[in-house]
Amino acid sequence: MRHCASVREARQSETTALAHGCGSLRYRTVSTAMSASNGKIGDMARVSDGSAGRSAPRETPKTVRKPRRQLARGTPPDDKLARYQAKRDFSRTPEPTGKTPKMAHGRQLRFVVQRHRARRRHYDLRFEMNGILASWAVPNGPTLDPAAKRLAVHVEDHPIEYIDFEGVIPAGEYGGGDVIVWDTGTWEPYDTDDPVEAVAAGELHADVTGQKLKGRLILVRRGRGREESHQWLLMHKNDEYAVSGWDAEDYPLSVLSGRTNEQVKSDPDRIWRSDLPAAEALVELRPRPIPGPADAELAALDDLGAAGTWHVFGRELRLTNLDKELFPARSGEGPVTKRELIRYSARIAPVILPYLAGRPLNMHRFPGGAAQPGFWNKQLPDHVPDWLPRWHNPEAKQGRSTTYLVVDEPAALVWVANYGALEWHPWTSRAANQGSPTYALIDIDPGSATTWDDVLVLARLHRTALAHLDVKAQPKVTGRRGIQIWIPVADGLTYHDTRIWVEQLSKEIGAVVPELISWKWDVSERHGLARLDYTQNVSNKTLVAPYSPRAAAGAPVSAPIEWQELDDPALRPDGFTIRTILDRVAKRGDLFRAVQGPGQDLPPLR
């Protein structure tokens, strides 16, 4: 593997980024900005679009399409979905066909609002009635503001199965674009027993109970002319749920997956197989998220004294020392107590569980708090509750840990927090297949002389290389001083495979900035330089889980970030804490979820 020119001279005006060549990677020069404070590289020019693993658009060959079904004149009024079906080619779109309208017998009527980015972004408001979803397209979205009047265009009825539809309609198809379930819930017609007749008469009052929308929505047809018959006004009654100035665009996440339209577009959770029966057509690509603790459960935790029994996630947990200070205070903040840690563990459990489930957990325990020395706890004690999930290692050697905790349910993580484990480190393989990692790991481990700017340079170089190689990966700050990058890999790869590949990539990147890197194993021999630690790719090794706290002042969190955040001057490796990360997840979703997707083969680097 030959080295390219050093960047020492380039630091005055330009830096070197990775692209194809130089053995397998070629180095090319791109201009960059200088840090005004210390003369080091303060930012790195991006040679990719800031998203590792996103390939360039390809020209799509033209497809011969089946002709869409035509609506015959005089279509019977009971053929409720004829217009819907006539507009779509179900050999291409993942939307449900809705062959048989389904009546709501003995249950409440449902509604859904889908945020739909087609030719223009709009919201689709749909009410279940008479076996179908009566639908309106609302360009500016529904609102809780009683002073607002929204245009709502009455469109074709949709099948009941559409109430769960979230995904991507192919470009060129009717309504082509990405769709999320923005809100859903139940509704009741007001002042009528026949909502179908109310719609026909031009006025529908609906009392909705959704996750975002609540209260009375009012739909009124604007006129009787041919064009006007489709144009309605959507309003919200000035009731107890009304909120002045409320804007749907301030709440962009799906209530089904917790993601934005852009995230669903790049990585859908589920697909609809139009070639399968309706009962089997919704194919889950990932398990649906587990609900978090109820407000009443959190209130019960707050009401406990210094100790007590907490009923949460269907389990009884005996909690102790709830007011003990576990994390020292940061400047301007109070210390973090055990009660706060337990509350955080319960609230983050539905998000973090996919990264822990099925994997043995190494617990970094600090019973005396983060200010005191901690120790590693791998062996699960005999006195733990019977319901706690565990795994017995059949390959354990004499004197080694034989029984590990496996966090297969959210209550188990609450138990971990109560047990004094401030940091959560799962294996990179699943218990069912110890020798096959699910991730390849890149660990940018700063030395004593490594600055945060140096760490960012190394991370950006990885971003460029991975994007060029078309390898999907996701970064996270460690909550300490570094950055880690996780790469989902295909089944069948061994730790030897991932270790060799990451070593080759690291050596290529290290050759670009040799003044930042040491390959010495012993910290004392590194002279304060950073290490790209490819040796983490070995059986039974762990890295701290995304969203795990770290044992430091303020309870910082190992937080997933987007690639473009590497260019944000406000980014810090310990900038997110258990007091702030939940708001970030609520607004932006789980930024690390790409590593849960299908694994990938690692391309050759030579």
Distance CA 485, CA 476 (A): 6
Mean pLDDT of the chain: 83
Question: Which of 166, 147, 300 shows the shortest CA–CA distance to 238?
Answer: 147
CA 60 from centroid of its chain's CA atoms: 29
291 has a pLDDT exceeding 60: yes
Average pLDDT (166-187) is 88
Distance CA 544, CA 574 (A): 14
Confidence at 255, pLDDT banded by 50, 70, 90:
confident
Average pLDDT (561-568) is 95
Q: What is the pLDDT of residue 558?
A: 98
Distance CA 494, CA 356 (A): 20
* Beta bridge pairs of residue 233: 151, 220
pLDDT digit string (tens) for 83-100? 888 888 777 777 777 766
Confidence at 73, pLDDT banded by 50, 70, 90:
very low
What is the SS3 assignment for 3-38?
CCCCCCHHHHCEEEEEEECCCCEEEEEEECCECCCC
Distance CA 70, CA 94 (A): 20
Distance CA 271, CA 256 (A): 14
| Strand, helix or coil for residue 263 | helix
Confidence at 496, pLDDT banded by 50, 70, 90:
very high
Instruction: Name the H helices within 513-555.
Output: none
pLDDT digit string (tens) for 349-391? 999 999 999 999 999 999 999 999 999 999 999 999 999 999 9
Confidence at 469, pLDDT banded by 50, 70, 90:
very high
Instruction: Name the H helices within 111-255.
Output: 195-201
Residue 511, token pair as written in the block: 């050759």
**Cα–Cα distances in angstroms (integers) from residue 66 to residues 89, 92, 93, in the given order:** 7, 9, 12
**20-34, 319-333, 400-414, 559-573: the lowest-pLDDT one:** 20-34
pLDDT digit string (tens) for 386-435? 999 999 988 888 888 999 999 999 999 999 999 999 999 999 999 988 88
Q: Are 279 and 208 in contact (CB under 8 A)?
A: no
Average pLDDT (525-548) is 90
List, in order of start, the domains of the chain with CATH numbers.
Answer: 82-284 (no CATH), 295-426 (3.90.920.10), 437-596 (3.30.70.3300)
Q: In one letter, which amino acid is 453? A: D
| Strand, helix or coil for residue 276 | coil
Distance CA 76, CA 95 (A): 23
Q: What is the pLDDT of residue 71?
A: 36
Greater model confidence, 262 or 322: 322
pLDDT digit string (tens) for 9-38? 333 323 344 433 334 453 332 333 223 223
